[in-house]
Structure formats: structure tokens, C-alpha cells
Amino acid sequence: MEKEHTLITRDWLAIERTKLANERTFLAYFRTFVVFLGTGLTVLKIEFFSDLKSFGILLLVISPTLLIVGIIRLLRVKQTIRKHYKI
């Protein structure tokens, strides 16, 4: 018969730290998305940067990609934590 494993406080706190680190990583992706999006819009709207229009468009194309990668990573790591620790 298999003995059921219960988490001690140290293990539970380690899992919580891992969850918080995962959320911080997502927030970094989100922050980068906002900066890329804002910079891309600024480059396109201000006439002074008319030489950089292609760069602005590139930033606008990359920004949603960053957000999607961040969301996918957040969900995968969350799923891995639940699977591994059966939470």
C-alpha cells in the first residue's frame, strides 16, 4: 500500500514561491508587450520618426506575439506545477 505524501510547510512554501515566480515572469512579458506596443504606436504617430515607420510596424507585430508567448508559458508552468505536486 502506498503511503500518501503530505506536504510539509517548507514544501508548500517552495510551491508558493514557484507560483509567484511564474506570475512575475508573466508580468515581465506583459510589461515588455506594453512597451513594444507603446513605442510602436509612438514611432508611427510622431512625424519626427517618419524614417522609422518600418521599425514601428515591426514593434506592433512583435508585441502581440510576446503577449501570447507569455500567456502560454504562464499556463504551461501552472499546469506543470499542478501535475507535479497534485495540487
Half-sphere exposure of 55 (CA within 13 A, CB side): 8
Q: Where are the beta strands (DSSP E) in the chain?
A: none
* Spatial separation of the C-alpha atoms in residues 15 and 54, rounded to whole Å: 44
pTM as predicted? 0.81
Give pLDDT tens digits for 27-49: 999 999 999 999 999 999 998 88
The closest of 29, 8, 35 to 77, measured between CA atoms, is: 29
Please tell me the predicted confidence (pLDDT) of residue 17: 93
* Spatial separation of the C-alpha atoms in residues 30 and 6, rounded to whole Å: 35
Kindly indicate the confidence band of residue 12, based on its pLDDT and cuts at 50, 70 and 90: confident
* Spatial separation of the C-alpha atoms in residues 28 and 6, rounded to whole Å: 33
Distance of CA 21 to the CA centre of its chain: 10
